[in-house]
A and B are shown apart, each in its own frame.
Chain A
Amino acid sequence: MLAITIILLVLLGVVVLAGLALLGIYNGLVRSRVRAREAWSGIDVQLKRRASLIPNLVETVKGYAAHEQEVLENVTRARAMLDQAGGAAQAAQADNVLTGALRSLFAVSENYPQLRANENFMALQKELSDVEEKIAFARQFYNRNVQDFNTRIQVFPSVIIANMFNFERFDFFEAEETAREDVQVSFGSTS
């Protein structure tokens, strides 16, 4: 009788401990997911800010270089792509396209000294390069959080909990390796 009681108590203890461990793992996963989402909103804020600068930039450039239709359209189209992007992977792709389009636009603007001297244009150029830098830092922070979360949901034992509660992987926000440097180069005045 006593032996059975002890065995039952031990079993109960094991069950309680296992439950606590599961709870701990589950909370850890949720916390990590919250952090990754927060990090995403850090990128999102900067992407929105970048997108909001584009119409003004396009208008300003049109005033001096209206016949550079193609370049301007590329920028507008890339901006629309960014607006419609769902999820990190698509947003990253759209952002990279926008970076490329802006790069050509600023390269073309070299041919219009009056445009380059326009105060509004200069301010926009400065602000866009600031946003670009901030996106790079936000991306770094986001990707580090995503890496942490994605690792957690793939390693034992938390992978069991992750599967039970359908924790899904986050996409990395991947920029072309050279994006950051290239933009800085094109924002200089030589090339």
Chain B
Amino acid sequence: MPEQQPVLIYDRIDGNRRNTFVLLTVFVLLLAGLSILFGLMIGMPYPLAPLVIIPFLIFAVISYYASSNIALGISGAKEVSKEQEPELVRTVENLCIGAGLPMPKVYVIEDGSPNAFATGRDPDHAAVAVTRGLLDKLEKIELEGVIAHELSHIGNYDIRVMTIVVVLVGIAALMADFMLRLTFFGSGRRSSNKGKGGGAAMAIVLLLAIAAAILTPIAAQAIRFAVSRQREYLADASGALLTRSPEGLASALEKIAADPDKLESANKATAHLYINNPLKEHKSFLNNMFTTHPPIEERVRLLRAM
């Protein structure tokens, strides 16, 4: 193992915030470029882009308010009281006091595979869900680490950030789709309206548009996953700050990764929520670029270096 220089937890959190900001900026620039191309294609500068966005915004607002209920429903989580799960609820209470967060609702998923997720648009409407396997298989200090990680997602407004990112990805995909369709079905009519020079310029715009339409959704997805991975590192770091013990989360992550059980109720739509990918996909370079979570070994290494 190469010697990792110990990094201050505060620095790590700052660095993560910066990275997320840079990625989001790149994303917005990408979308801006795409809409300019789109505008040029249909003959006007900045024309239809707002209209393209409207249905998406409506969809986004609905999913923004409904997403946590949908996620909890799909995963089969049941809300538990302090009497039912005293140790779990007490751990959540304590860490909330430490993080200065209001108490979220606590859910348990009756599944032997150890995993956990947090959801909710802001700290006042948040929920933490853990599986039965997590409660059974983890020591107290490890459970604290996992809960602290989830509470950090809530405190960092990660659900909000990820909702925004998903909407941006959706808009990019939709625009790209429109552009491809326009290229194939609408270009002939339009280019005949222009003079000679206009035709040559239009051809360049069209070529660019096709390239952009193909590449943008891929790039958008890659950025989305990169943002997600950044948020995971950030939640690891702020969670470690909260418990003052990175080791708890590190060994919990190892246990979760080593566990052979697959989480029955998880699917592609909810996988990104969990503390570790519940689908246990195999690894490859492409998978690494298109995964919501950084590799466990890397997260554990960084935690141990704190």
Contacts and interface: CB of A to CB of B under 8 A. Distances in A.
A100 interface: no
A44 interface: no
A138 B98 contact: yes
B98 A140 contact: yes
B98 A141 contact: yes
B90 A141 contact: no
B90 A137 contact: no
Interface in A15-39: 35, 38-39
Given A39-B100, A42-B100, A130-B90, A137 B95 contact: yes
Contact of B99 (A46, A130, A134, A141): A141
A43 to B, nearest CB: 9
Interface residues of B, number: 9
Contacts, number: 25
B301 interface: no
A130 B100 CA distance: 17
A133 B94 CA distance: 7
Contacts of B98: 137-138, 140-141
A10 to B, nearest CB: 33
Nearest to A138: B97
Contact of A141 (B93, B97, B244): B97
Contact of A42 (B90, B95, B97): B97
B244 A137 contact: no
Interface in A115-158: 130, 133-134, 137-138, 140-141, 145
Contacts of B244: 140
Chain B, interface SS category: helix
B106 to A, nearest CB: 16
A130 B94 CA distance: 9
Residue of B90, B97, B99 ringed by the most chain A CB atoms within 10 A: B97
A103 to B, nearest CB: 20
Contacts of A140: 98, 244
A137 B94 CA distance: 6
Contact of B94 (A39, A134, A145): A134
A35 B244 CA distance: 21
Nearest to B93: A134
Contacts of B95: 137
A141 B94 CA distance: 11
A134 B98 CA distance: 8
A92 B99 CA distance: 20
B10 to A, nearest CB: 10
Interface string B254-274: 000000000000000000000
- Which of A35, A39, A133: most chain B CB closer than 10 A? A133
Contacts of A35: 100
B144 to A, nearest CB: 10
A32 B114 CA distance: 39
A137 B245 CA distance: 13
A134 B90 CA distance: 9
B115 to A, nearest CB: 25
A95 B306 CA distance: 31
Contacts of A130: 90
Interface in B71-124: 90, 93-95, 97-100
Contacts of B99: 141
Contacts of A145: 100
A130 B93 CA distance: 10
Nearest to A35: B100
Nearest to B94: A137
Contacts of A137: 94-95, 97-98
The 5 closest A-B pairs by CB, nearest first: A137-B98, A137-B97, A137-B94, A141-B100, A138-B97
18 contacts: A35-B100, A39-B100, A42-B97, A42-B100, A130-B90, A133-B94, A134-B93, A134-B94, A137-B95, A137-B97, A137-B98, A138-B97, A138-B98, A140-B98, A140-B244, A141-B97, A141-B98, A145-B100
Interface of A: 35, 38-39, 42, 46, 130, 133-134, 137-138, 140-141, 145
